[in-house]
Amino acid sequence: MSFHPQMPYGEGWHRSQRRVPPDGPPFAFTPENLARLEDICSHYPPEQRKSAIIAALYLVQEQQGYITGNAMQHVAGVIGCAPAQVEDVVSYYVMFFTRPVGTYVVQVCRTLSCALRGAERVTEALCRHLHVSPGETTPDGMFTVVEFECLGACDRAPVIMVNNEHWHECQDPDKVTELVDALRSDGVAALSGCHLVKER
Amino acid sequence: MDPVLTKHIGEPNAQTLDFSLQHGAYAGLRKALGMAPDEIIDWVKKSGLRGRGGAGFPTGMKWGFVPKDSPKAKYLCVNADESEPGTFKDHVLMERNPHLFFEGCVIACRAIRAKVCYIYIRGEFYHLQRVLETELARAYEAGFVGANILGSGEHVDIYIHRGAGAYEAGEETALIESLEGKRAQPRLKPPFPAVVGLYGCPTVVNNVETLCNVPLIFDRGWEWYAGIGPDKNTGPKLYCVSGHVNRPGVYEADMSVTLRQLIYDYAGGIPGGRQLKAVIPGGSSTNVLPADKIDVAASFDGLVQAGSMLGSAGIIVMDETTSMVWVAKNLLHFYEHESCGKCTPCREGTDWLYKILSKVERGEGELRDLGLLFSVADNIGGKTLCPFGDAVVPPVASTLQHFREDYETHVRVGRPPLPPWRAQEELIGAH
Ligand SMILES: Cc1cc2nc3c(=O)[nH]c(=O)nc-3n(C[C@H](O)[C@H](O)[C@H](O)COP(=O)(O)O)c2cc1C
Ligand code: SF4
Ligand code: FES
């Protein structure tokens, strides 16, 4: 019985459950990425290479765009741990993609401070402009729209993050559609919106 | 009070080593290197510094729990996971004042006899990580970090460890798990990290802002530090003001400042001359305060007296157009999404709360759903492994307590007309 008499147990996937993605194409790190990984491993005691699993998975994502079963096997081999341990990590953290995503993953913060300043309208404008729903990728493989939780820049709400790296702040429906168009025409050069370059 | 932590953050190149040295960086470290570890801890105790990560635990006391004679390695883990909705102060410190931060890390390592410090930074802060890496390399080069720091024989290595998107990684034992290459799921306490932490060794987990306060205590003396702000709530404090204010941002003040001053004087009041409805004073996990309760000191103790908490000092301001049912729903989506799933009340309960709140928010709820919300929340709070479970209760219980009429409107009349900032309906992907 459920611990609350009036509520049934939920169904659907929870991040604490493990979901293993398909094997996908063969995978091995490039020599450069392998060297970068070994450098990161040296930050930890020699018997604690597992600490570098997250870093290894970021490298997989950089190399291949998303994480597959074969990639996880390879990471487990390089780190020297059980593949299950890598699977655990992949299924838990939201910044890992286990299916192909667009060249630009546009992640819109939806949490309270951003929502109080119109984040819903930003998502809506983005989705309408690209003809997708949150979570979907455009047919040309250029854009994936994702909703995200608080990014830690609530004073510059609403905030979006492109590809786990590039931030654009103080968005509104017009700015975000302009950004998408600029990405289409100019590529990564359009991603210069991070406040870091602006000093008060 | 004059800003200390954020005095220069707006100036060009404020993050660089040269700029920081011109403004007195690493002076506190020089003094601390001449002191024994116990003396350092003693100074921090006397300064009254309390942790800025959320709980307000006295920092000196926490350092004192690390066993001195343990043969094991000791570790300092910096909590740079900053994921509490409404909080963005560590972000500013790391981006604009990284050398103050490194200085604090090295002093803390000396105090607890650690040779290695890991900065656990949330994955989304990649642009900050690059700033930190550049500046850390400069600090190494100049001999402020690394082997034989300033000729003292002290050796401290600092490494940056990137997370990958999990709010729960901010909880200290979950942070340690994540650093060990596992899911960010908490451990049962005791044993506390000070005794069994990272890799089974004694470990201190401190927040970024906490560590940025440490050099000040040595640079200017603990007497100076203890003299700032009210008794037992000492030192400069950063407040993050967001939501419906004219000038959202990070503001530095001593802890005698009131919520009203922060909202109206520092952050410029509410846009469009609208009325204040409610304030979340310390990040989403703290009780909402109604507009008539804002004449209280925004300090650890002041906000507890007012029925809430200082938490992470993330002040979220909501004007009269805001439906508090919608606020609760928004926050429960966050908690439902971020629950690590280790304990059933939290994993299932957050899902239930979110579903009930969504139904009520859409105008499809019944009055008995409000009782059910209380009852489910009551079955989570205090019944879970980590404080996340307790953090789920405030958004539900305090909005129900202070704004029951909002809930009743949603139930009796239906969803009220949308305010301008949400006016484009129906939203794609709305649940
Ligand atoms: C669910 C949860 C999330 C937390 N998130 C953070 C966080 O993002 N940043 C932080 O500094 N502390 C966070 N904390 C508090 C830490 O567990 C810990 O108390 C803090 O890092 C201690 O640092 P301090 O003593 O310097 O305050 C969180 C706690 C919980 C229960
Ligand atoms: S209370 Fe929630 S977040 Fe904390 S351990 Fe339990 S399930 Fe995980
Ligand atoms: S709520 Fe969007 S960045 Fe915090």
Q: Which residue from A minimizes the CA distance to B181?
A: A51
Residue among B334, B350, B352, B386 whose CB has most ligand 2 atoms within 8 A, to mutate: B386
Fold of B324-430: de novo design (two linked rop proteins) (1.20.1440)
Which whole number is the average pLDDT over B378-395? 95
On the question of a cis peptide bond just before residue B191, with omega within 30 degrees of 0, the verdict is: yes
Could you tell me if the CB of B384 is within 6 A of ligand 2? yes
Residue among B207, B214, B233 whose CB has most ligand 1 atoms within 8 A, to mutate: B207
Contacts B88 to A, Cβ<8 Å: 152-155
Domains B236-319 and B324-430 share a fold: no
Could you tell me if the CB of B184 is within 6 A of ligand 2? no
Give the closest-approach CA distance of B357 to chain A in angstroms: 14
Beta carbons of A10 and B249 less than 8 Å apart? no
Beta carbons of A154 and B344 less than 8 Å apart? no
Please state, rounded to an integer, the average pLDDT across all residues of chain B.
95
Contact of A39 with chain B, judged by CB distance below 8 Å, is answered with: no
Domain ranges for chain A, please list them.
Answer: 1-99, 104-190
Domain ranges for chain B, please list them.
Answer: 17-226, 236-319, 324-430
> What is the whole-number distance in angstroms between the Cα of residue B118 and the centre of ligand 1?
15
Contacts B284 to A, Cβ<8 Å: 111-112
pLDDT-derived band at B144 (thresholds 50, 70, 90) equals: very high
Contacts A50 to B, Cβ<8 Å: 180-182
Helices B367-378 and B388-402, packing angle to 10 deg: 150
Which of helix, strand or coil describes residue A154?
helix
pLDDT of residue A188: 84
Q: What pTM, to 2 d.p., does this model score?
A: 0.96
Signed CA dihedral, B131, B110, B239, B22: sign only:
negative
Closest CA to A145 of A129, A134, A131: A134
Residue with tokens 């489910």: B376
Closest CA to A125 of A167, A187, A181, A184: A181
CA distance linking residue B302 with residue B304, whole number of Å: 6
Which whole number is the average pLDDT over A151-180? 92
Q: Which ligand is nearest to the CA of B345?
A: 2
In the sheet that holds B289-290, the strands lie side by side as B249-254, B236-243, B314-319, B276-280, B289-290
ipTM of the complex: 0.95
pLDDT of residue A11: 73
Contacts A117 to B, Cβ<8 Å: 243, 421
pLDDT-derived band at B365 (thresholds 50, 70, 90) equals: very high
Fold of B236-319: Ubiquitin-like (UB roll) (3.10.20)
pLDDT of residue A116: 96
List residues bridging with B290 in a β-sheet: B278
Could you give the C-alpha distances from A61 to A139, A162, A191, B33, B384, in angstroms and in order? 21, 14, 19, 42, 34
Q: Is the pLDDT of residue A173 over 60?
A: yes
Which of A114, A150, A161, A194 to probe the B interface (max B CBs under 10 A)?
Answer: A150
Contact of A154 with chain B, judged by CB distance below 8 Å, is answered with: yes
Q: What is the full DSSP assignment across B154-208?
A: --BEEEEEE--S-GGGGSHHHHHHHHTTS---PPPSSSPTTTS-GGGS-EEEEEH
For chain A, where are the E strands, in sequence order? 104-109, 143-148, 160-162, 166-168
CB atoms within 10 A of CB A133: 11
Q: Give tens-digit pLDDT for B213-236.
A: 999 999 999 999 999 999 999 999
Which of B16, B19, B88 to probe the A interface (max A CBs under 10 A)?
Answer: B88
pLDDT-derived band at B429 (thresholds 50, 70, 90) equals: very low
pLDDT-derived band at A191 (thresholds 50, 70, 90) equals: confident
pLDDT-derived band at A7 (thresholds 50, 70, 90) equals: confident
Q: Is the pLDDT of residue A74 over 50?
A: yes
Contacts of B182 (CB under 8 A, 6+ apart): A50, A85, A88, A89
Count contacts between A and B (CB, < 8 Å).
212
User: How many Cα atoms sit within 13 Å of B419 on the Cβ side?
Assistant: 18
Give the closest-approach CA distance of B160 to chain A in angstroms: 9
CA distance linking residue B49 with residue B233, whole number of Å: 8
Query: Residues lining ligand 3, CB < 6 A?
Result: A 109, 111-114, 150-154, 157, 159; B 85
Choosing among 2.60.120.10, 3.40.190.10, 3.40.30.10, 3.30.110.30, the CATH entry for A104-190 is: 3.40.30.10
Give the closest-approach CA distance of B208 to chain A in angstroms: 14
- Cβ contacts of B336-340, under 8 Å, gap ≥ 24: B337/A149, B338/A149, B338/B83, B338/B166, B338/B167, B338/B168, B338/B388, B339/A14, B339/B168, B339/B388, B340/A15, B340/A16, B340/A92, B340/B166, B340/B168, B340/B174, B340/B183, B340/B184, B340/B185, B340/B186, B340/B388
Domain with residues B17-226, CATH architecture:
3-Layer(aba) Sandwich (3.40)
Superfamily of domain A1-99: NADH-quinone oxidoreductase subunit E (1.10.10.1590)
Amino acid at site A21: P
CB atoms within 10 A of CB B133: 11
| CB contact at 8 A, B161 and B118 | yes
Domains A1-99 and A104-190 share a fold: no
Which whole number is the average pLDDT over A173-189? 92
Percent of chain A with pLDDT over 90: 78
Closest partner CB to A16 (pick from B95, B159, B342): B342
Which of A60, A116, A168 to probe the B interface (max B CBs under 10 A)?
Answer: A116
Query: Residue of the nearest CA to atom 12 in ligand 1?
Result: B53
Burial class (CB in 10 A: 0-12, 13-18, 19+), A174: exposed
Buried b (16+ CB within 10 A) or exposed e, B223-256: eebbebbeeebbbbbbbbbbbbbeebbbbbbbbe
What distance, in Å, lies between the first and last C-alpha atoms of chain B? Answer: 46
Contacts A120 to B, Cβ<8 Å: 422, 424, 427, 430
Please state, rounded to an integer, the average pLDDT across all residues of chain A.
92
| CB contact at 8 A, B19 and B108 | no
Beta carbons of B124 and A48 less than 8 Å apart? no
pLDDT-derived band at B421 (thresholds 50, 70, 90) equals: confident
Give the closest-approach CA distance of A35 to chain B in angstroms: 17
Signed CA dihedral, B63, B66, B71, B77: sign only:
negative
Amino acid at site A108: V
